[in-house]
Amino acid sequence: MTDNHDHHNELAHVMPVKVLLGVFGALLVLTGATVWVATHDLGRFDLSLALIIATVKAVLVALYFMHLRYDKVFNAIVFVVGILFVILFISLAVMDTGNYQSQLLRNADHVIRYR
Amino acid sequence: MSSAADHHAEVDPAYRLAHHFESPEQQFETGKFGMWAFLVTEILFFSGLFTAYSVYRSNEADLFSYASGYLDTTLGCINTAVLILSSLTMAWAVRCAQLGQQRGLKFCLIVTLLCAGGFMGIKSVEYHHKIHNGLFPNAHFGAHEDPDGVPLHITDESGATVANPAARPAPENLRSFFGIYFCMTGLHGLHVLIGMGVIFWLYLRARRGEFGPKYFGPIDFTALYWHVVDLIWIFLFPLLYLIH
């Protein structure tokens, strides 16, 4: 690359235009894919597939738009640990409701339900 | 040993080095780490709502499938594209600032602002339809139409209001879906509005030529925040709009 030297910054990595546009295109294609997939009934794989596509999009945004791939590893660790705690939070809550919700409903004398 | 003041006197003013930092690199990396730490708290903040969503959806799969039909997938899809475009222009704004391209920087910030405004405009059209259909979860909650637009109640010959047999009857907990919908998209929309305010402030500063290759921290950190707003929408869109 001849213009590599001009497109340099002393404080941080400069994202090439090609990469920015490539990621933008990939995000649009994946958005189309997730809408298209949703028009088909895949039973219990519906949710997992939608989440997989969303996660791929999120990883693209984080790695390239947010420069995480070229950033200090420490920032990535902070971010990923945060995500792990979110997963822990959601899984434990879902596990708990999955195990005890039916019992709660059975034991309740009257269950308040909103219309 | 030179004192901090002497040391700073040698630094090019273009770096805008604050007195409490050793070097421009340290100033930039500190700001960036601060923003990452803040973004983690933002994600944990939203995770409470995602947890509520998961718990309700795992208990009421049919309700979510029915209620999702009220949401306009086309508008949601356009909004996703608009937000992704704004993320692109924000990332490009960082590049422009890093390379000292002043016109490009101002242009990218304006396009980002316009996209954000477009997103909120489409969002308000959607909100208007929901509220008009009685789907705002307040004391007067009660859907007038089913997801296909068929009135849920009709007036029979005697003038009494009866359930419309042609409509799909609303599930009893419809309100909880819309509670979650308005909380999640509302909190996200609030973040978009705050982001717009900050980006407008950056635009005013960019017009005064405050940013350049030696000082672009505020652009970079705001871009990080803006991308997290995009990230959250990337998950909200399929989870709310695309349920079978």
In terms of Cβ atoms closer than 10 Å to its own Cβ (0-12, 13-18, 19+), residue A96 is exposed
Q: Name which of B52, B69, B207, B209 is nearest B135 in CA terms.
A: B69
At residue B5, the pLDDT reads 54
Tens of pLDDT, residue by residue over A58-114, are: 999 999 999 999 999 999 999 999 999 999 999 999 999 998 887 777 766 555 554
* ipTM of the complex in this document: 0.90
Closest CA in chain B for residue A49 = B238
Answer yes or no: do A59 and A88 share one domain.
Answer: no
Answer yes or no: do A22 and A54 share one domain.
Answer: yes
Contact A82 B94 (CB under 8 A): no
Q: Tens-of-pLDDT digits for all 244 residues of chain B?
A: 445 555 676 788 889 999 899 999 999 999 999 999 999 999 999 999 999 999 999 999 999 999 999 999 999 999 999 999 999 999 999 999 999 999 999 999 999 999 999 999 999 999 999 999 999 999 889 999 999 999 999 998 888 889 999 999 999 889 999 999 999 999 999 999 999 999 999 999 999 999 999 999 999 999 999 999 999 999 999 999 999 8
Answer yes or no: do A12 and A67 share one domain.
Answer: yes
Answer yes or no: do A66 and A98 share one domain.
Answer: no
What spatial distance separates the first Cα and last Cα of chain B, rounded to whole Å? 69
Domain that holds residue A104: 72-115
Answer yes or no: do A80 and A58 share one domain.
Answer: no
Answer yes or no: do A55 and A3 share one domain.
Answer: yes
Nearest by CB to B59, from A46, A101, A113: name it.
A101
Nearest by CB to A82, from B43, B91, B175: name it.
B43
What's the pLDDT band for A7 if we cut at 50, 70, 90?
A: confident
Angle at B230 between CA B226 and CA B236, to 5 degrees: 145
Answer yes or no: do A53 and A97 share one domain.
Answer: no
**Chain B interface includes A69 (CB < 8 A):** no
Answer yes or no: do A65 and A92 share one domain.
Answer: no
d(CA B231, CA A24) in angstroms, rounded, equals: 13
Number of domains in chain A: 2
Answer yes or no: do A18 and A55 share one domain.
Answer: yes
Answer yes or no: do A113 and A100 share one domain.
Answer: yes
Answer yes or no: do A88 and A52 share one domain.
Answer: no
**Chain B interface includes A62 (CB < 8 A):** yes
Q: Which domains does chain B have, with CATH numbers?
A: 22-136+174-241 (1.20.120.80)
